[in-house]
Amino acid sequence: MLETGAAHSGPSLAASSVEGSGDLVSIVLAALDDAKAEDVVTIDLAGKSSLADAMVIASGRSHRHVAAVADQLEQAVKKAGALPRTEGLPHADWVLVDAGDVIIHIFRPEVRSFYNIEKMWGLEAPEHGHA
C-alpha cells in the first residue's frame, strides 16, 4: 500500500506504484475537483481497450485554466507514485495526461465539443455549464 508522504525511489512505469486503476481514478477525480475542472466524465475502458482501464474527460474554462488543471493533476499523480506523461502544453487547448492505467483529457469547452470523444465511446457529451 502506498503511504502518504512516502518517498518514491527508483524508476517505475506510470502507475506501477499505485494500487490498481480504481485508486488512481479516485486520485485523478479528487485532483480535478480541487482544480475546479468542469463537466468531468469517467469512462470504464476495462475489456474495451488495451491502452488503459479508464479514461477521464474534463473541461477547463480557458487556456490558463486547462494548463493549471493539468499541472495540479500531474502533481497529484506524481505524489501517488506514478510518472505521468503529458502532451498539449503550453498551448492548452487539449491536454492529455497519460497516467498509465488512466488516461485524462482536459479540454477547453469549444475544443471538447469539436472532438466529442465521449461519442466515440457511446456517451453523450455534457452540455457546457450543466454539471
pLDDT digits (tens, 9 = 90+) for 30-51: 999 999 999 999 998 887 887 8
pLDDT digits (tens, 9 = 90+) for 76-91: 999 999 899 999 999 9
**Domain extent listing, the chain:** 20-120
User: What pairing do the DSSP bridges indicate for beta strands 54-59 and 38-44?
Assistant: antiparallel
Full pLDDT tens readout for the chain, 131 residues: 333 333 333 333 333 334 456 799 999 999 999 999 999 999 988 878 878 889 999 999 999 999 999 999 999 999 999 899 999 999 999 999 999 999 999 999 999 999 999 888 776 656 555 44
**Residue whose C-alpha is closest to residue 53's, from 79, 15, 95:** 15
**Fold adopted by 20-120:** Beta Polymerase; domain 2 (3.30.460)
Secondary-structure breakdown of the chain: helix, strand, coil percentages, each rounded to the nearest 5: 35, 20, 45
